A and B are shown apart, each in its own frame.
Chain A
Amino acid sequence: MGKVFAVLVTLITLISIAFFVMHTWWLPPNISTTGKAVDHQLEETLIGTGVLFLAGQLMLGCFAWMASGKTKDTRAKRFPGGATSVVVTAIVVVGIEIFTLTFVGSKAWGAIYLTPAEPGALRVDVQAEQFAFYFRYPGPDGQFGGLHPDKIDDGSGNYFGLDPANDVAARDDIVVGSLVVPVNRPIALSLHSKDVGHSFYVRELRMQEDFVPGLDIPLHFTATQVGKYEIVCTQLCGLGHYNMKAYLEVMSEPDYEQWLKTQAGQ
């Protein structure tokens, strides 16, 4: 019985690890300047924990195997070093693991969340609502119009609650359904929600941040690859949660300028 268990555990462990090693299912390539550190961190963790996982399961398996054998004197074999060795090993091994991970990891985290966006960054105002993202560019005047929740009217496409009648800055604001940004240019997002909690998740940016109703949350990134990527909501926000998405379109500088012109025209 113990032998069966040992074999089964070993098989499960090896198969599980195999899929990790073979990258059968894997992250999409990173396209942000801060993402590299995250990927590096992930590799570190994968190796470290992979070893622990393998060691733990195999140890369990092989002890179970031994335990099913013919051991005459039960007092004969004690775990070398007894409890103390176990405790010490745990503290040392896991301790080292933790120390290195925190040390390296906090840098990766800091680069994304603790450093402010460059002053020259392109500002985009992001509003999440049930169940879509809308993006606002300041328009030719470089000014964002003020927001008035009481003016919000999806029927007339006024998703943000702008007041063009009285607010000149709001008149040329560009509101679109996808986030279009120039490549290699720092982008500074300001996340705010119209109704409930949502989240901004772009796998390729290695980034996720919640929209919290009542707060404006800053988030900044620099995309290094031209292309079209999905922005999805990861915070349960209601019945359309699964369908709440938008596209991040990273364009070359000229394409972006062209796009901006056409938008301003409408």
Chain B
Amino acid sequence: MNRKLLCLLPAAAVIFYAVKAGAGAPIPPPAGGTISGKVTYTGTPPKMKPIDMSKEPTCAKQHTTPVMTENVTTGPDSSLQYVVVYISEGDPGGAASTETVRYDQRGCQYLPHVLPMQAGQVLQIFNDDQTSHNIHPLAKVNPEWNKSQPAGSLPIDTKYDKPEFIPVKCNIHPWMHGYFVVLNTSHYAVTGPDGSFSLKGLPAGKYTVTAWQEQYGTQTQEVTIGSTETKTANFTFKALPY
């Protein structure tokens, strides 16, 4: 019995790696044009404040360096993170994507801080902490709800039907703050730590690209691209110290 098992092991390993490789195989680049660019700021942005989590030891001990507020998150050479860039006009839209969007509560933080999704797309909210959380999306256009999620309880499934920028807060941990960005388009991106973004797989056409920052609002640009062309669209927000 045991020996049999031992003999089987290598085989199993082979199969395993084969499968893994298959999964990891490079996906062919999507057809269509790409709009990419960088979001930056001018002026002095406000200093992000350290968050005091001492109230919630189970979370506090997960962070070696203090967690900072994220309302204006800046990066190297005055780049802006957590800016949502999306096609506001020119996208014919279409049915909502079937894949679910995942939203995590970990270490008493919302991950990601800003979560774009398509109207009608299924949103799954997980509590990965050892404490109860409370999710309270302050929606105005969509229905507002306010639910607690005890540690180790099932994920909350929900969706939003109308486009809206929805602030999300945790009533139990006041510092937990994030955004659901519900969009009509499936072409959206969030700027990374270096402020860069790219919208791929756009059919040829004329588009209005909008960049949204939770504190500084929106900016738009007109971009026309061909079927396989790549264009750059940079955005610059004016930052104030307070």
Closest to A167 in B: B242
Cα A246 to Cα B53 in complex, Å, equals 9
**Chain B interface residue number, banded:** 20 to 34
Tell me if B54 is interfacial: C-beta within 8 Å of chain A.
yes
Chain A, residues 125-153, CB within 8 Å of chain B (1/0): the string is 00001111100000000000000000001
A266 contact set on B, CB distance < 8 A:
47, 49-50
Pick from A154, A164, A176, A246: contact of B175, CB under 8 Å: A154
Tell me if B204 is interfacial: C-beta within 8 Å of chain A.
no
Tell me if A56 is interfacial: C-beta within 8 Å of chain B.
no
Closest to A266 in B: B50
Chain B, residues 200-242, CB within 8 Å of chain A (1/0): the string is 0000000000000011000000000000000000000000101
Closest to A244 in B: B55
In contact, A177 and B215 (Cβ under 8 angstroms): no
Cα A133 to Cα B173 in complex, Å, equals 11
In contact, A239 and B177 (Cβ under 8 angstroms): no
Pick from B171, B173, B175: contact of A238, CB under 8 Å: B171
Tell me if B132 is interfacial: C-beta within 8 Å of chain A.
yes
In contact, B54 and A157 (Cβ under 8 angstroms): no
Closest to B178 in A: A155
Chain B, residues 158-175, CB within 8 Å of chain A (1/0): the string is 000000000101011111
Residues of B within 8 A of A (CB): 46-56, 69, 71-72, 131-132, 134, 148, 167, 169, 171-175, 177, 214-215, 240, 242
B175 contact set on A, CB distance < 8 A:
154, 157
In contact, B50 and A156 (Cβ under 8 angstroms): no
B72 contact set on A, CB distance < 8 A:
156
B51 contact set on A, CB distance < 8 A:
157
A200 contact set on B, CB distance < 8 A:
none
Q: Given A155-B169, A159-B174, list of 6 further CB < 8 A pairs?
A: A131-B174, A153-B71, A165-B242, A178-B52, A240-B134, A243-B56
Tell me if A247 is interfacial: C-beta within 8 Å of chain B.
yes
A176 to chain B, nearest CB (A): 6
Tell me if A198 is interfacial: C-beta within 8 Å of chain B.
no
Chain A, residues 248-266, CB within 8 Å of chain B (1/0): the string is 0000000000000000001
In contact, B167 and A177 (Cβ under 8 angstroms): no
Closest to B48 in A: A157
Tell me if A245 is interfacial: C-beta within 8 Å of chain B.
yes
Closest to A133 in B: B55
In contact, A155 and B53 (Cβ under 8 angstroms): no
Which 10 A/B pairs are nearest by Cβ-Cβ distance?
Answer: A177-B52, A155-B177, A157-B49, A240-B172, A165-B242, A156-B71, A164-B242, A157-B69, A154-B174, A155-B71
B47 to chain A, nearest CB (A): 8
Closest to B132 in A: A243
Cα A247 to Cα B214 in complex, Å, equals 32
B71 contact set on A, CB distance < 8 A:
153, 155-156
**Given A155-B71, A156-B46, A177-B54, A239 and B174 touching (CB < 8 A)?**
no
**Chain A interface residue number, banded:** 20 to 34
In contact, B171 and A246 (Cβ under 8 angstroms): no
Cα A26 to Cα B49 in complex, Å, equals 40
Cα A246 to Cα B52 in complex, Å, equals 10
In contact, B69 and A156 (Cβ under 8 angstroms): yes
B240 contact set on A, CB distance < 8 A:
165
A-B contact pairs, 16 of them (CB 8 A): A131-B172, A132-B173, A132-B174, A155-B71, A156-B49, A156-B69, A156-B71, A157-B175, A159-B174, A165-B240, A177-B52, A177-B55, A239-B148, A240-B134, A243-B131, A247-B54
Cα A185 to Cα B131 in complex, Å, equals 36
Choose among A157, A164, A246, A266 the residue with the greatest number of B CB atoms under 10 Å from its CB: A157
In contact, A154 and B131 (Cβ under 8 angstroms): no
In contact, B55 and A245 (Cβ under 8 angstroms): yes
Cα A129 to Cα B174 in complex, Å, equals 8
Closest to B72 in A: A156
A153 contact set on B, CB distance < 8 A:
71
Cα A131 to Cα B47 in complex, Å, equals 25
In contact, A243 and B49 (Cβ under 8 angstroms): no
B50 contact set on A, CB distance < 8 A:
266
A244 contact set on B, CB distance < 8 A:
55
A231 to chain B, nearest CB (A): 10
> Which A159-215 residues have C-beta < 8 A from chain B?
159, 164-165, 175-178
A48 to chain B, nearest CB (A): 40
A199 to chain B, nearest CB (A): 16
A132 contact set on B, CB distance < 8 A:
55, 173-174
In contact, B215 and A156 (Cβ under 8 angstroms): yes
In contact, B242 and A130 (Cβ under 8 angstroms): no
Cα A7 to Cα B139 in complex, Å, equals 64
